[in-house]
Amino acid sequence: MHSHLENVFPDYTRTLAVAKPLMSFRPDGGITSLKTAIECKFVAKEKDLKTALHGLTEDLSGYSGSLDWTHFYSVIYMSRPYAVEGQFIHSLGESGNAGHWTTIVVTGTASPGLPRKKQSAGQRQQS
């Protein structure tokens, strides 16, 4: 995701912070010109769903009130359909800080941080 956003948005950054009095929160990425921070969660197993939701709820509170970052996206990638987007939106909305957040849920089969296996020319032709 980082490489795609870096190619689309010249001011995409992987290093940003939302400063608070006692600590700073660090989103996974952001687009400076759009004042947009992006938080990604990977849900490999159903038990990871609660952990991801808990982390996003903390992020909602941590990022609220920032003047530098005013729009937020949470991208939840699930290895199987453990929940639907509406369930995330409803749960995060109950926190009271979800007004500037957009939630995107994607379901697929890849693992986090693992590059795809390169195919030889022969393998590509057979596909």
Domains with residue ranges and CATH for the chain: 2-113 (3.40.1350)
Q: How far is CA 50 from CA 41, 44, 58, 112, in A?
A: 11, 12, 12, 18
CB 29 within 8 A of CB 18: no
pLDDT score recorded for residue 126: 42
Length of the chain in terms of residues written: 127
> How far, in Å, CA of 56 to CA of 88, rounded?
10
pLDDT score recorded for residue 113: 57
CB 19 within 8 A of CB 52: no
- Using the Cα atoms of residue 108, residue 44, residue 54 and residue 13 in order, give the sign of their dihedral: negative
pLDDT score recorded for residue 62: 79
Question: Which residue in 61, 70, 59 sits closest to 27, CA to CA?
Answer: 59
Considering only the C-alpha atoms of the chain, give the largest distance between any 2 of them, rounded to a whole number of Å: 57
CB 51 within 8 A of CB 18: no
pLDDT means over runs of 10, the chain (127 residues): 87 86 85 91 87 83 81 87 79 68 81 48 41
pLDDT score recorded for residue 34: 93
pLDDT score recorded for residue 10: 92
pLDDT score recorded for residue 25: 84
